[in-house]
Structure 1
Amino acid sequence: MSGWRKWTLILLGASAALLVPWMAVLAVTLPGTARVHHWSLAWIGLDVLLATGCAATALLGLRGDARARLTASATASVAVLDAWLDITTAHSGPALLQALACAVAEGVVAGVCAGVALSEGHRRTECR
């Protein structure tokens, strides 16, 4: 393992360890509710990111480009984040049921994308 890679991984591990006490601070200090400006823009932006990731993964995958695995990985993460935020920000009752239904659909997208990301990915070679 190269020195650069080793130190990058050590830094990531240290970041994970430092986030644990930070999460405890947030759990104790964040308010239970908040007024959010540009709420609709935040949600639309997340869906634009998810749609763009799906489209990029599809286009790259259909071209046989191995980079589809990278976009699939990122898109799976966005889908899981979208599902998490759908559920955790929904009011109880019908809104929560709708959020759960959306989360199931986003879970399917995340699963498909994870499958693409973990696939062997055949790189197409071209003669010039």
Structure 2
Amino acid sequence: MTVQTMPWPPRPATSPGARARRRFTWVPGVLGAVAAGLVPWVVVLGRTLPETTEVRHWPAVWIGLDLAMALGCAATARWYHRGDGRARLSASAVAALMGMDAWFDVLTARPGTEFTQALVCAVPELALAGLCTWLALRETERLP
């Protein structure tokens, strides 16, 4: 007959996830402090930024943004098709980029036809952002 000994005092059962949560308890405090610090900064920007400005490399800005969205969509499609959890991460990034693109398209458009075109383009961009947000929030095990 074998006698098993138990450690004394008994050690609490902790999962790797529980250890990771304890290790990074400082993260909400840092992010909360950054959020609070950005509020006065936004006020300063609202009072000091000029109404209009001239921008250099304007085509490169928009081409780069659209290229980043295309690459993000391609990566998300591939990872989602393979059932890879990284699809959630890339979908999250694509959602943010699509929302940002729609925001800047509409706010930088000239009144009239250009503004109307920006609004029309914002609809599918925001729909895709919604789809990507939904995908990013799904459980990894539920990927195809």
Q: After TM superposition, is the score higher than 0.5?
A: yes
Tell me which structure has the larger Cα radius of gyration. Answer: 2
Percent identity, aligned pairs only, is 51
Which residue of structure 2 aligns with residue 80 of structure 1? 99
Contact 1:65 1:123 in 2 (8 A): no
Q: Match of 2:53?
A: 34
Match of 1:72, SS state, is: helix
1:113 partnered with 2:132: yes
Q: Where in structure 2 are there 5+ consecutive unaligned residues?
A: 1-20
What is the distance in 1 between the residues matched to 2:25 and 2:93? 23
Deviation (angstroms), 1:64: 0.5
Greater RCO, CA 8 A, separation 6+? 1
Distance, in Å, in 2 between the alignment partners of 1:16 and 1:121 is: 29
User: 1:65–1:122: 8 Å Cα contact kept in structure 2?
Assistant: no
Q: Match of 2:79?
A: 60
Q: How many residues align?
A: 123
What's the CA shift for 1:121?
2.5
Structure 2 partner of 1:51: 70
Q: Scaled by the length of structure 2, what TM-score is found?
A: 0.82
Q: 1:7 aligns to what? A: 26
Quick one: distance in 1 between partners of 2:90 and 2:46?
32
Backbone CA RMSD of aligned residues: 1.3
For residues 22 and 6 of structure 1, the distance between their equivalents in structure 2, rounded to whole angstroms, comes to 26
Aligned residue in 2 for 1:24:
43
Which amino acid is 2:25 matched to? K
Q: TM-score, normalised by structure 1?
A: 0.92
Q: Aligned partner of 1:102: which letter?
A: C
Q: Which residue is equivalent to 1:89?
A: 108
Letter in 1 for 2:44: V
